[in-house]
Structure 1
Amino acid sequence: MSSANHLDTLYRQVIMDHYKNPRNRGEVEGDKLKIDMNNPTCGDRIQLQMKVEDGKIADAKFNGEGCSISLSSASMMTQAVKGLPVEEALRMSDLFSDMMLGKDIDTSGLDLGDIEALQGVTKFPARIKCATLAWKAMEQGLNEEENA
């Protein structure tokens, strides 16, 4: 098995693990931002809930239904942004969007963790919207909060 095939297999395993065992699925208690988004082309739906305190994402959870890419991405995203300052979470979202577009990205100072497993989605343009759905919901919620 070539190292590229081995990496693809590893990435698929990470994606399926997040799909079968989603992190941060459920409801955020108390006051929260609540963003509903869907991808009408494939039926993915997500409700993202975030609690922002002192300029940081104190908690993030999601509910929804959709394909393995969409739900895995939501699981990875909520795991990655919890505890981050809002600006850093938005920077990570920009980097993720660039990664989905196949651009070279500079991740210095950020730990993408399992998110890197989604790089292979760039080979399947129809699935990019699945991968970015939760990230777009986060951006929308944080931008609405900032402008409130």
Structure 2
Amino acid sequence: MNTKELYREILNDHNVNPAHKTQMDGATLELHGVNPSCGDNIVLYLKTKDGIITDGSYTGSGCAISQASVDMMLDLVIGKTTEEAQKLYDIFTGMIHGTASEEQIEQLDEAASLEDISHMPSRVKCAELGWRTLHEMISTPAKTQEIQKTASQSHENCPA
């Protein structure tokens, strides 16, 4: 099996058998993320304690890339500090935009399987949706709380 086939298999597995796709009760952070250009849509839930992401999940719908990417992201960030999660976001974004080093990309584990997305500009926003939502949650908590109230009221209309 060549590398591209392996990556395709990883992506497909996270899309078809996601480990984290479920609504979470008791989340400390919740944020609705949307990719308006193609309709990908998630609600990201995190439980944090003392600056550590102790659990995470998501609900929503979209293409295989958007859904698999958020699932892989959660595999990576659960158990990490919010600072470590922010560094992984920076690496992932660098990878998608073709600026991350191979050494950095190795830190992304299975999420590195999305590296070729950098050659498909129309799919970049799909891959970044979960990561952008995470970044917004942890980098602007006050905004997240404001958005959380809005998302909680409006995600009843989002497709599940």
The normalised TM-score by structure 2 is 0.83
Residue 111 (str. 1) matches residue 90 (str. 2): no
Question: Gaps (5+ residues) in structure 1?
Answer: none
Unaligned stretches of 5+ residues in structure 2: 146-160
Alignment correspondent of 1:39: 35
Three-state SS of the structure 2 residue aligned to 1:50 is strand
Give the count of matched residue pairs.
Answer: 143
CA distance in 2, matches of 1:35, 1:144: 11
Give the one of 66, 70, 73 matched to 1:74.
Answer: 70
Choose which of 61, 64, 70 in structure 1 pairs with 2:60: 64
1:98 partner letter: G
Identity of aligned residues (%): 34
Q: CA 1:75–1:48 in structure 2 vs 1: closer, same or farther (change >3 Å)?
A: same
> Superposed, which structure 2 residues align to 1:84-103 within 5 Å?
84-103=80-99
What RMSD over aligned residues (CA atoms) do the two structures have, in Å?
A: 1.9
User: Once the 2 structures are TM-superposed, how far is the Cα of residue 59 of structure 1 from its aligned partner?
Assistant: 0.8
Alpha-carbon separation, structure 2, partners of 1:37 and 1:73:
13
List aligned pairs for 1:121-136, cutoff 5 A. 121-136=117-132
How much does 1:134 deviate? 0.2
Deviation of the 1:23 alpha carbon: 1.4
Q: Aligned partners of 1:104 and 1:93: how far apart in 2? A: 11
User: Secondary structure of the residue that 1:107 maps to in structure 2?
Assistant: helix
The amino acid that maps onto 1:107 is Q
Q: What SS does the aligned partner of 2:104 have?
A: coil
Q: What is the CA distance between 1:144 and its match in structure 2?
A: 2.6
**Residue 113 of structure 1, CA deviation:** 1.5
Q: Normalising by structure 1, what TM-score?
A: 0.90
Structure 1 residue ranges (4+ consecutive) displaced by more than 4 angstroms after TM superposition = none
Q: 2:135 aligns with which of 114, 118, 139?
A: 139
Amino acid in the other structure paired with 1:56: I
Counterparts of 1:111 and 1:125 in 2: how far apart (Å)?
23
